[in-house]
Chain A
Amino acid sequence: MEKHFARTEMLPPMAPPVTERGVVKWLRENLFSGWFNTILTLAGIYVIWSLVTAALPWWLNSVWTAESLSQCREIVTATAGEGATGACWAMIRERWHQFLFGFYPQDAYWRPVLAFGLLFAAMAPVLFAGQKRNLSVLLGAVALVLLVTLMPASAPVAVVVLVMALLAGFIALAQVRPAMLLWFTAIYPALCFWLLWGGSIWVPVVAMLGFVVMGGAYLALVGRMGPTTSAVTGVALALVWWLFVDLPLTQVIDGIAPFALAKVNSDQFGGFLLAITIGVTAITFSLPIGILLALGRQSDMLIVKTLCVGFIEFIRGVPLITLLFTASLLLQYFLPPNTNFDIILRVIILVTLFAAAYLAEVIRGGLAALPRGQYEAADALGLDYWRAQRLIILPQALKISIPAIVSTFIGLFKDTTLVAFVGLMDPLKGVTQIVRADIDWKGIYWEPYIFVGAIFFVICFGMSRYSMYLERKLKTDHR
């Protein structure tokens, strides 16, 4: 070994050895890092292989055009040989409209399609408050989808033109005053009701006026009587409106200026139209009710607290199906004879209350997670109870509870399939049973469930992704 060393030639950079780079490195580190992981990897590969070999031919041999299941099977046998299996999507091709609309009259399909499209226009200002770009993209997408779908769904041309003009107006409005779009959100429930069930337009309009009465009374009195008293007065006046003024007034206006869509009965609703109607309505109303229940449960007022706790514990202690049976059978006994209280409305009310009880507990968790200092700081600044809740406590508590709230919503949406038990045509059991009862499609099994499951998955996955987006957007703690 020489003592002296001087480098005469500089070394060029070299690539790392083949086992330390790229795919090989990844495989070695993640799949074959020890004998145990190697066994697991091989076992996993075997399981995946078995699943794929069992299912793949079934997917590859899919038949899209056929008139019955037996014809499907003949085609599969003819193309793939004796004993081969194949999916028969021809059933979906022929019956997809029933999965979506149930027995809704075919010439009126444009009405639920329009209601569904406008649903997103109504949700947009809530989902993307103040975000012009997201708002415009969503509204544009709604316009595009409606443009493509409304005509085949046999919408009158005048309606299509009107809707396009409306959406163009919304997109323009989103650029200057996005908050104004919330007014459309406010009237959407009435519009949706009218589109789906039809009948005179004055029924939902006069009913919505009840809310105007409520809000007007509140605003007129809040300066003098404080928020709680004026809110109670407002609700009382609105109830008077709905019970005594609503019906005669509707008849009078309808006599003067009749304007109506063809009526559609609740028993014609089915499939995803039914699931989404129940799901969206229940989600919309269960959140505010859940918030009030959660606040009530934390209240110092003994009666309010007892009522809220009693309600929450009762609802959570009873299976949803029990409540649905109550909706379909028992309620009729308690109501005055000859009142025709719509079955879908009854189901919506009970599903809403059911979800509200769960949400109340979820939100209570969020409220409990807030440090006491937040309440004290709000108090010390002189904010009254409702302002402190609205400006300080709830924004933080709801943010904490977003994942759990969305879980509850997803659960609620999937639970809408349980309405099958009270004779409504949910997409999973109701419509599938009807399809399978058809002589042509008797014996079909996997396909309808895969189809319905896929649609449920898309909707629920969408909700989940939105909640993650919202969590990121509202993150301000910079931990």
Chain B
Amino acid sequence: MSDVAIDRSKMKVSDEVAIQISGMNKWYGQFHVLRDINMTVNRGERIVICGPSGSGKSTLIRCINRLEEHQQGQIVVDGTELTNDLKNIDKVRSEVGMVFQHFNLFPHLTILENCTLAPIWVRKIPKREAEETAMHFLRKVKIPEQANKYPGQLSGGQQQRVAIARSLCMKPRIMLFDEPTSALDPEMIKEVLDTMIELAEEGMTMLCVTHEMGFAQAVANRVIFMDQGQIVEQNEPREFFNNPKSDRTKLFLSQILGH
């Protein structure tokens, strides 16, 4: 990723808190998946979460828009606490964009309809205006010419960029990425990462579960390493990669960077 010139001028972290998680625990039945998670995300932060599979990193970010329910502790997103109150949940979800590993585009709708559906039905934006916004973001992810095709006609990388555009159409203040490049062929990973870098350059608050360590080094201002449902280590990327403190982190890094 070192070949990409990254403009860090707008990547400023403000003091304003975007996400506050304190003392959060989650269980699947008897299985304790997330243990005593405490973290604060400020507006404008770009956080990469990594860790071995089963470490709870996806579950953690899925808790932030309540695709998963937590059983203990507190999650506050943009000043709204996530409880069982459906109104709060829908409010948080419309402010938080999410990009999935398997894109999850709606196959029965065109690319344009995928992008305008939520703005029209959730934000109540007139159709014409929603379409203009959608085309704006499709141009931004560099596939405006595919607007009238169906997701099944696009490559994986294109689908993932549409998924990003679809989230952006809701004008979210926070973006969550759940292994956005893990299901892609190597040559398509770059086009998706480039889109994400562009987003970071504009100052978007991002939480990203990924194994792309180059992306982490280039874009993140903080890397969080998780294992067995706990935050094991967090640091700014240079320190994290060059001087890891915990043995578990060292082992993990040696395994993924070793070859």
Q: Which residues of A contact B (CB under 8 A)?
A: 371, 373-374, 376-377, 379-384, 387, 391-392, 395-396, 399, 474, 476-479
Contact B108 A387 (CB under 8 A): no
Contact A380 B108 (CB under 8 A): no
Contact B67 A376 (CB under 8 A): yes
Contact A377 B150 (CB under 8 A): no
Q: Is B23 part of the binding interface, using a Cβ–Cβ cutoff of 8 Å? A: no
Number of contacting residues on B, CB 8 A? 28
The distance in angstroms between the C-alpha atoms of A399 and B108, with both chains bound, is 9
Contact B100 A382 (CB under 8 A): no
Chain B proximity of A391: nearest CB distance (Å)? 6
Name 14 A/B residue pairs within 8 A (Cβ), A-sorted.
Answer: A371-B102, A373-B104, A377-B100, A379-B67, A380-B65, A380-B100, A381-B93, A381-B170, A382-B170, A383-B117, A387-B121, A476-B107, A476-B150, A478-B153
The distance in angstroms between the C-alpha atoms of A371 and B103, with both chains bound, is 12
The distance in angstroms between the C-alpha atoms of A375 and B150, with both chains bound, is 19
Contact B93 A380 (CB under 8 A): yes
Contact B122 A377 (CB under 8 A): no
The distance in angstroms between the C-alpha atoms of A477 and B153, with both chains bound, is 8
In the complex formed, the residue of B with least CB distance to A393 is B106
Q: Which of the residues A383, A387, A399, A478 comes within 8 Å of B150, measured between beta carbons?
A: A478
Q: Which of the residues A373, A376, A384, A476 comes within 8 Å of B90, measured between beta carbons?
A: A384
Contact A382 B94 (CB under 8 A): yes
Whether A374 contacts B104 in the complex (CB less than 8 A), given A391-B117, A476-B150, comes out as yes
Contact B152 A380 (CB under 8 A): no
Q: Is B18 part of the binding interface, using a Cβ–Cβ cutoff of 8 Å? A: no
Q: Which of the residues A374, A377, A391, A476 comes within 8 Å of B152, measured between beta carbons?
A: A476
The distance in angstroms between the C-alpha atoms of A395 and B114, with both chains bound, is 14
Encode contact with A along B100-131: 1 for CB under 8 Å, 0 otherwise.
10111111100000000110011000000000
- Chain A residues whose CB sits within 8 angstroms of the CB of B167 once the complex forms: 380-381
- Chain B residues whose CB sits within 8 angstroms of the CB of A377 once the complex forms: 98, 100, 104-106
In the complex formed, the residue of B with least CB distance to A477 is B152
The distance in angstroms between the C-alpha atoms of A331 and B159, with both chains bound, is 56
Encode contact with A along B65-91: 1 for CB under 8 Å, 0 otherwise.
101000000000000000000100011
Interface residues of B in 132-156 (CB under 8 A from A): 150, 152-153
Interface centre among A381, A392, A478 (most CB of B within 10 A): A381
Whether A391 contacts B153 in the complex (CB less than 8 A), given A376-B104, A381-B93, A382-B170, comes out as no
Q: Which of the residues A381, A395, A479 comes within 8 Å of B108, measured between beta carbons?
A: A395
Q: Which of the residues A376, A384, A478 comes within 8 Å of B100, measured between beta carbons?
A: A376
- Beyond the given pairs A379-B67, A383-B121, 6 more chain A to chain B contacts, judged by CB atoms under 8 angstroms and listed by A's residue number, are A381-B117, A381-B122, A382-B118, A383-B118, A384-B86, A477-B107
Q: Which of the residues A381, A399, A477, A479 comes within 8 Å of B118, measured between beta carbons?
A: A381
The distance in angstroms between the C-alpha atoms of A373 and B65, with both chains bound, is 14
- Chain B residues whose CB sits within 8 angstroms of the CB of A381 once the complex forms: 93-94, 117-118, 122, 166-167, 170
Chain B proximity of A384: nearest CB distance (Å)? 6
- Chain B residues whose CB sits within 8 angstroms of the CB of A392 once the complex forms: 106, 117
The distance in angstroms between the C-alpha atoms of A117 and B166, with both chains bound, is 45
Contact A476 B67 (CB under 8 A): no
Chain B proximity of A181: nearest CB distance (Å)? 22
Contact B121 A391 (CB under 8 A): yes
The distance in angstroms between the C-alpha atoms of A474 and B98, with both chains bound, is 28
The distance in angstroms between the C-alpha atoms of A376 and B153, with both chains bound, is 22
- Chain B residues whose CB sits within 8 angstroms of the CB of A376 once the complex forms: 67, 100, 104
In the complex formed, the residue of A with least CB distance to B107 is A477
The distance in angstroms between the C-alpha atoms of A470 and B77, with both chains bound, is 44
In the complex formed, the residue of B with least CB distance to A476 is B150
- Chain B residues whose CB sits within 8 angstroms of the CB of A478 once the complex forms: 150, 152-153
- Chain A residues whose CB sits within 8 angstroms of the CB of B103 once the complex forms: 373
- Chain B residues whose CB sits within 8 angstroms of the CB of A399 once the complex forms: 108
- Chain A residues whose CB sits within 8 angstroms of the CB of B91 once the complex forms: 382
Chain B proximity of A398: nearest CB distance (Å)? 10
- Chain A residues whose CB sits within 8 angstroms of the CB of B122 once the complex forms: 381-383, 387
In the complex formed, the residue of A with least CB distance to B91 is A382
Shortest 4 CB-CB contacts between residues of A and residues of B:
A382-B94, A377-B104, A373-B104, A381-B118
Contact B121 A477 (CB under 8 A): no
Chain B proximity of A48: nearest CB distance (Å)? 44
The distance in angstroms between the C-alpha atoms of A476 and B100, with both chains bound, is 21
Chain B proximity of A369: nearest CB distance (Å)? 12
Contact A373 B94 (CB under 8 A): no
In the complex formed, the residue of B with least CB distance to A395 is B108
The distance in angstroms between the C-alpha atoms of A383 and B123, with both chains bound, is 10
Chain B proximity of A40: nearest CB distance (Å)? 42
- Chain A residues whose CB sits within 8 angstroms of the CB of B108 once the complex forms: 395-396, 399, 474, 476
Chain B proximity of A227: nearest CB distance (Å)? 11
